[in-house]
Amino acid sequence: MKLPQIILLILGTFILTACNFTLAEDITPPPNYVSPTPAPTLGPLYPAQAPSIENGAAIYSEKCAPCHGETGMGDGAQGIQLSVPVPAFGLSEIARPASLAQWYTTVTRGNITRFMPPFTSLTDQERWDVVAYAMTFHATQEEIERGKELFEANCTDCSTDYFKDQQKISSLSEVELARIIKEGNDEVKAFGENLDEDEVWAVAAYLRTLSFAAASAASASTPPPTEPVSVLQTPVSAVTTPIGGTAQVPVPSEATAVSQPGFGTVNGSIENKTGANLSSELKITLRGFDHGADPNSTPQEVLSLDGTVNANGTFSFENIEMPAGRIFLAQITYEGVTLQSDFAIVEEGASTLNLSPILLYGTTNDPSALVIDDARIFFEYAENEIQIFGAYSFRNLTDKTIVVELKDGLEIPFIKSPEGTEALGFEPMQDSQPFTSVDNNLAFPPNEQSYGLIVFSTLAKASQVEITHPFVLPVASLTVFLPEGVNAEGTQLTDHGVQTIEGLNFQMYAAGDLPAGNTLTFTLSGAPNDTSTSASTSISGTSINRSILIGASALGLVLILAGAWMFMRDRQHIEENNHRNGEAEFESPEEVMDAIIALDDLNQAKKISNQAYQKRRNELKEILKEMM
């Protein structure tokens, strides 16, 4: 089971400096505690402009599909691993009673009982775009076309202005639209008395689309040109089509091109901040995506072309098929770091598309200039070990991309775990600013916004444990959370006593500014009380409070603990299946192959050291040879 992005979904923005969890009003916060940024303020519950389905499709693919699934059935790879079911808004039973305003509110404010964070990384209009796209999942294109025919046949003199009014239509569910169709209201006369139930729903689905930005013809329905698209005498590149075939697309060059209907030019530029001249061999890749004739489909890559960046940093791809609604972005790889433009969407009739500039920075392997604004260290007492997970929020305020090499593929050089612990790996947080992970390196471009990582390790359990925790970089604020009943003694920690946060009890300690190279030392003693976060529920050997699994209101804290529980559960589950001794555990070669695949997943997700991975894999290969 892969978990490279599960914490990414669960943690959300609450760990980051700009979104700290909320303490109860009667709790004195630790020194240097940063007040949380409130949930985004809800403005008018209708969009400023008609929602774009094309834009919503691109956003959904990145932000929503991993949990909700490609068709909104709640079956995304991450969603099926949550401890609560993910709403399947692709079902008409769920979508029809909902309004766009209700879904917009959920995306804006989040739904903590379902481990859904607020999507503050999206603009107001982007949130409207994505909920509008999600609202199309339960109705097929054929149903919408049928609804259009029925509306035009049964309401020949009706105006569609009412259904294009964003303020009105955003507040209406399809159930309410169906009632208007059958019964009418002060502004729309009844016209569906003779329609059966299926026909009413088809008309309601069609009326919903009238408030969306004009849907564009999908490229999948655009026939290929019968004549050559240009006079370029250059090689062609094969690109994957939505149905798995290949299409021959000309590679752009400086030769004069013959303009064809439906084709155009994609322009972009590199904003060079490296201080050096651009290489004449710097390559740029243009990627195109369609979501097909069915607006419910997830965007698929249909085009990938390589070109060259000009000396002044500009680039241009000519004679590119540009159906309305196609999504384009450009990518470059510089000193091992992949950078890309924002995505841009082709508008109806456009023959030119300008991409946002790609910011190109120099690189350095020195992480000392990173600024860690906040660190939170949690100690969870399991049956046979102490599980430690630290949430770190940091920024790169330099003018260079900071590239660091992982130690053994698991340890981040500027974030240390306590001495004597076993490193398990790390996960990015959902609203962490994007960074690149290639091979054994991580790259963090300059950014005033925060990157977020959660780091996992374990320690042998004992009645008294000495903790020696080195910090490579300075930390502005540090908080330590322990189960109630466990105490820490150390001169660097300030005891804030047992804090009750939405019914969960924690022994909490804080430390002020920690300078670079400082080591935090303290002694843990005692055992968790039955009422603490570690006592009430045990699953796969990992204990955690039941309320964490069913949701609570202590936003960031609950989400961190829930994410950690899933991480540890996944690790233990895989280890139980892959660290047995003797070939008697396998009844067939197929079972051995399954074990090898699971072990590879474990290694790829950075949940096991490379040494242990290689050793166990060799053991399994020997077992497989003997069984063949």
pLDDT digits (tens, 9 = 90+) for 290-348: 865 555 455 678 889 999 899 899 999 999 999 988 889 999 988 878 888 888 888 88
pLDDT at residue 605 tops 50: yes
pTM: 0.53
327 phi, psi to nearest 5 deg = -105, 130
Core vs surface per residue 447-459: b (16+ CB within 10 A) or e:
beebbbbbbbbbb
CATH number at residue 541: 2.60.40
- 540 and 398 assigned to the same domain: yes
Which residue in 215, 293, 288 sits closest to 54, CA to CA?
215
Structural domain boundaries enclosing 157: 141-209
Pairing of strands 478-483, 370-381: parallel
% pLDDT > 70, the chain: 70
pLDDT at 482 over 60: yes
Q: Which is higher by pLDDT, 256 or 230?
A: 256
Answer yes or no: do 543 and 600 share one domain: no
Domain check: are 391 and 496 in the same one?
Answer: yes
pLDDT at position 521 is 95
Q: What CA–CA distances, in Å, run from 402 to 129, 373, 397, 414, 435? A: 34, 17, 10, 11, 10
- Residue 171 and residue 320 share a domain: no
Q: Is the pLDDT of residue 617 over 70?
A: yes
Which of 41-45, 276-280, 531-535 is least confident?
531-535
Task: Label residues 164-194 b or e (16+ Cβ within 10 Å = b).
Answer: eebeebbebbbebbbbbbeeeeeebeebbee
- Is 74 inside a domain boundary? no
Q: Which of 6, 5, 2 is nearest to 563 (CA)?
A: 6
Residue 5: is its pLDDT beyond 80? no
| Residue 15, in any domain of the structure | no
| CATH at residue 170 | 1.10.760.10
Total number of domains constituting the chain: 4
List all residues 6 or more positions away from 227 whose beta carbon is below 8 Å from its beta carbon. Answer: 260
More confident residue, 530 or 578: 530
- Specify whether the CB–CB gap between 201 and 174 falls below 8 A: yes
Same domain, 374 and 505: yes
Higher local confidence (pLDDT), 545 or 323: 323
Residues 373, 355, single domain; the answer is: no
Query: Is residue 425 domain-shared with residue 557, that is, in the same domain?
Result: yes
For residues 5-18, average pLDDT:
34
100-109 and 124-134 helices, crossing angle to 10°: 130
Instruction: Examine residue 115 and state whether it is found in any structural domain, yes or no.
Output: no
Q: Tell me the average pLDDT across 367-396.
A: 90
In a domain, 319, yes or no: yes
In this prediction, residues 222-227 reach a mean pLDDT of: 35
Q: What's the confidence (pLDDT) of residue 435? A: 84
Q: Does residue 113 carry a pLDDT above 70?
A: no
pLDDT of 228 reads 31
In a domain, 98, yes or no: no
Say which range, 154-158, 205-209, 395-399, has the weakest mean pLDDT: 154-158
Among the three residues 342, 363, 384, which one is the final residue of a domain in this structure?
363
Q: With a cut of 80, say whether residue 116 has pLDDT above it.
A: no
pLDDT digits (tens, 9 = 90+) for 412-442: 999 999 999 988 888 777 667 888 877 788 9
Domain boundary among 363, 385, 416: 363
Does the pLDDT at position 103 exceed 80?
A: yes
In a domain, 291, yes or no: yes
pLDDT at 321: 92
Distance CA 534, CA 380 (A): 7
Q: What is the pLDDT at residue 324?
A: 85
- Looking at 333, 363, 393, the residue that finishes a domain is 363
Closest CA to 377 of 450, 471, 472: 471
**Do 311 and 380 have their domain in common?**
no
Instruction: Give dist(CA 455, CA 442) in Å, integer.
Output: 14
Q: Does a structural domain hold residue 105?
A: no
- In this structure, of 28-32, 84-88, 533-537, 611-615, the range with the lowest mean pLDDT score is 533-537
Q: For residue 536, what pLDDT is reported?
A: 35
State yes or no: pLDDT of 527 exceeds 80: yes
Q: Which of 104, 15, 6, 108 is nearest to 554 (CA)?
A: 15
539 and 394 within one domain: yes
Structure-derived torsion over alpha carbons of residues 10, 15, 18, 22, reported in degrees to the nearest 10: 90
Partner residues linked to 457 by β-bridges? 388, 423
Rounded to an integer, the average pLDDT of 224-253 is 31
Do 396 and 436 lie in one domain? The reply is: yes
pLDDT at residue 293, as a whole number: 55
Do residues 27 and 35 touch, judged by C-beta distance below 8 A?
A: no
534 pLDDT higher than 50: no
Q: Is the pLDDT of residue 490 over 70?
A: yes
The predicted pLDDT at position 439 comes to 73
Query: Which range has highest mean pLDDT (21-25, 170-174, 220-224, 624-628)?
Result: 170-174
First to last CA, the chain: 26
**Mean pLDDT taken over the chain:** 75
Is residue 438 domain-shared with residue 482, that is, in the same domain? yes
Given a cut of 50, whether residue 606 has pLDDT beyond it is yes
Q: Which tops the pLDDT comparison, 365 or 237? A: 365
Residue 112: predicted pLDDT: 59
**For 549-573, what is the mean pLDDT?**
47
Q: Check residues 249 and 98 and name the one with the higher pLDDT.
A: 98
Do residues 518 and 535 share a domain? Answer: yes
Give per-residue pLDDT as tens, 206-217: 999 999 987 543
Return the structure tokens found at 500: 């009750």
Cβ(409)–Cβ(416) under 8 Å? no
Q: What is the pLDDT of residues 129-142, one digit of tens each?
A: 999 999 999 998 99
pLDDT of amino acid 80: 73
| Tokens describing residue 61 | 């693919």
Does residue 85 form part of some domain? no
pLDDT, position 148? 92
Question: For position 572, what pLDDT does the model report?
Answer: 56
